[in-house]
């Protein structure tokens, strides 16, 4: 009997353990990113939280900013602080629901890549891998550029002149290849799994936050590892070691070293490609000679252009005879240009009138043929009559108004103003029927007033324009604040009337007084 009971209890114990592990969930698939306050789902369910809800509560509580309460405000821990990438910025959302968005789209990835022969850090929008480690990696003739959706090494004519466009197919518009995006920020793709010391890694298709490739081919191309020199420190001084199969190869046989002694002075300088032979023209001897900085890439092109120029015929003007003659140092390169300019100047025999001074002066294209005829007609013109100048003295509006309540607008101009208009803008649009002030207004020497009200809340921008002649913009003037802001508009903020002010006017007089006293 005892044996039976023991067996039953033992089975019960295991059943309880099994039930708890399955039903209550031994798996904890959710992980909190404490920096962003966002929960991610772990690929192998090896997280900290059983449910997304539990994770988000803990995660958001840790990253919640100041929260205030008023009139039964909900406890801040009741909210999820979610994030969403909008316009390249990570924005916060107060959410009553578990987060369905995150800021992974805003994430930037920095990798080392070649830029003008230097190995520099560059920021990409998609995951990337370092294409160089040392400056010497960029002194070769290969440059990584996008060819279709693939990132491939291309040959450049001038060493060190290229800028890498990419480090992998991720930067080459690989979006055309379908990918399965994970709502928690991880991406599915081909990932190179590499065991230390092995020449070749294994490409596996999985979800990972690490660099992935869209195609297996791209992964395999980047899943080969080469030897490189690395300084390892033991105490203050470091020793160079040749690490075997430790860095992604950029090309086949990209090994920097084979043994530690190859790295004694740091990274061995790769052999530079033989310099291309160029030719330069010696302008003394007019002979072509080999020169690394020469302008010609071939001897024939150099010889074609490296010829002593024959001196051209030049001309000068004889200002005694007003004739053109050949002169090696003359200013004219052609006979025609010389002859066009080599003319005896004819004295001015005509006159013009200066109406400002009422005096005549010699002018080759003048209206008058003699000084006397000019003087007879030349009179000082009267000064132009001053045009009327319209100006605005005052434009006053309340800065804050309640919607539906009447207010006074005041303005005044001088007597030269004959036409006036108040314009209104609500944001970028016209105010329309939302207010009653804008439109044509009377202007003149006296103060003007107009009662108006605004029906819809918002920030309204008013301008006052007055003209002497409304069809002539030069006679118009727009009001400007002379008190320092120099703004040419007035902003009126219209807000809704509080409920108590809407209710009070419709209550009996006694109750109105009671309520006013109570509120004040």
The residue from 96, 307, 344, 429 that contacts other proteins (CB under 8 A) is 96
509 near other proteins (CB under 8 A)? no
Q: Angle CA(411)–CA(413)–CA(418) in degrees, nearest 5?
A: 115
Residues ≥6 apart with Cβ < 8 Å to 25: 50, 51
**Which residues ranging from 195 to 234 are in contact with other proteins (CB under 8 A)?**
none
Using the rule CB under 8 A, give the single segment among 18-26, 125-133, 142-150, 249-257 that binds other proteins. Answer: 18-26
498 near other proteins (CB under 8 A)? yes
Please state the closest distance from residue 264 (CB atom) to other proteins, in A.
52
Q: Distances in Å between the alpha carbon of 439 and those of 356, 393, 424, 463, 467?
A: 45, 19, 9, 11, 14
493 near other proteins (CB under 8 A)? yes
Residues ≥6 apart with Cβ < 8 Å to 503: 515
- Residue with token string 């419709």: 506
CA distance 199 to 227: 9
The residue from 22, 364, 376, 507 that contacts other proteins (CB under 8 A) is 22
On whether the CB atoms of residues 102 and 84 are closer than 8 A, the answer is yes
Using the rule CB under 8 A, give the single segment among 75-83, 213-221, 222-230, 309-317 that binds other proteins. Answer: 75-83
Q: To which H or E segment does residue 341 belong? A: helix 335-341
The residue from 6, 34, 45, 100 that contacts other proteins (CB under 8 A) is 100
**Which residues ranging from 145 to 174 are in contact with other proteins (CB under 8 A)?**
none
Query: Contact letters (x/-) for other proteins, 442-481, by CB under 8 A?
Result: ---------------xxx----------------------
The residue from 59, 82, 306, 392 that contacts other proteins (CB under 8 A) is 82
50 near other proteins (CB under 8 A)? yes
Instruction: Residue 262: name the closest of 252, 274, 270, 253 by CA.
Output: 270
On whether the CB atoms of residues 44 and 21 are closer than 8 A, the answer is no
Q: Distances in Å between the alpha carbon of 378 and those of 349, 352, 364, 368?
A: 17, 9, 17, 10
The residue from 76, 117, 268, 444 that contacts other proteins (CB under 8 A) is 76
On whether the CB atoms of residues 137 and 130 are closer than 8 A, the answer is no
The residue from 3, 70, 344, 429 that contacts other proteins (CB under 8 A) is 70
Neighbours of 244 (CB within 10 A): 17
Using the rule CB under 8 A, give the single segment among 140-148, 243-251, 445-453, 493-501 that binds other proteins. Answer: 493-501
Residues that bind other proteins (CB under 8 A): 1, 5, 8-9, 12, 15-16, 19-20, 22-25, 50-53, 65-74, 76, 79, 82, 84, 86, 89-98, 100-101, 427, 457-459, 493, 495-496, 498
């Amino acid at each position: 009997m005892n044996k039976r009971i023991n067996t039953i209890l033992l089975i019960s114990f295991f059943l309880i353990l099994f039930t708890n592990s399955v039903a209550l969930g031994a798996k904890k698939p959710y992980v909190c990113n404490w920096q962003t306050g966002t929960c991610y789902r772990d690929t192998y369910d090896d997280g900290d939280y059983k449910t997304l809800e539990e994770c988000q509560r803990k995660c958001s509580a840790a990253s919640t900013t100041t929260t205030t309460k008023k009139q039964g405000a909900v406890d801040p821990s009741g909210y999820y602080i979610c994030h969403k990438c909008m316009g390249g910025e990570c924005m916060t959302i107060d959410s009553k629901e578990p987060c369905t968005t995150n800021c992974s789209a805003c994430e930037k990835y920095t990798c080392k890549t070649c830029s003008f022969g230097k190995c520099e850090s560059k920021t990409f929008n998609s995951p990337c891998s370092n294409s160089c480690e040392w400056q010497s990696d960029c002194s070769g003739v290969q440059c990584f550029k996008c060819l279709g959706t693939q990132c491939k090494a291309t040959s450049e004519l001038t060493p060190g002149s290229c800028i890498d466009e990419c480090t992998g197919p991720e930067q080459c518009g690989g979006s055309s290849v379908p990918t399965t995006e994970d709502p928690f920020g991880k991406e599915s793709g081909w990932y190179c799994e590499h065991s230390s010391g092995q020449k070749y890694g294994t490409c596996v298709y999985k979800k990972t936050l690490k660099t992935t490739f869209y195609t297996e081919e791209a992964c395999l191309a980047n899943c080969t590892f080469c030897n490189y020199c690395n300084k390892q420190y033991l105490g203050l001084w470091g020793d160079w070691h040749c690490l075997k199969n430790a860095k992604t190869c950029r090309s086949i046989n990209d090994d920097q070293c084979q043994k530690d002694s190859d790295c004694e002075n740091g990274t061995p300088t790769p052999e530079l490609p033989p310099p291309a032979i160029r030719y330069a023209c010696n302008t003394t001897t007019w002979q072509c000679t080999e020169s690394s900085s020469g302008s010609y890439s071939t001897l024939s092109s150099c010889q074609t252009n490296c010829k002593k120029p024959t001196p051209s015929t030049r001309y000068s003007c004889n200002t005694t005879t007003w004739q053109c003659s050949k002169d090696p140092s003359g200013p004219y390169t052609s006979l025609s240009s010389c002859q066009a300019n080599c003319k005896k100047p004819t004295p001015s025999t005509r006159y013009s009138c200066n109406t400002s001074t009422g005096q005549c002066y010699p002018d080759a294209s003048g209206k008058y043929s003699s000084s006397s005829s000019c003087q007879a007609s030349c009179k000082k013109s009267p000064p132009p009559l001053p045009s009327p100048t319209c100006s605005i003295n005052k434009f006053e509006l309340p800065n804050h108004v309640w919607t539906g309540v009447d207010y006074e607008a005041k303005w005044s101009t001088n007597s030269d103003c004959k036409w006036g208009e108040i314009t209104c803008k609500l944001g970028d649009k016209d105010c329309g029927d939302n207010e009653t002030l804008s439109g044509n207004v009377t202007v003149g020497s006296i103060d003007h007033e107009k009662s108006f009200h605004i029906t819809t809340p918002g920030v309204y921008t008013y301008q006052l324009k007055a003209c002497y002649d409304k069809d002539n913009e030069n006679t118009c003037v727009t009001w400007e604040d002379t008190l320092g802001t120099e703004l040419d508009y007035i902003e009126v903020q219209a807000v809704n009337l509080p409920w108590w002010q809407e209710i009070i006017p419709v209550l009996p007089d006694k109750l109105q007084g009671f309520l006013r006293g109570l509120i004040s």
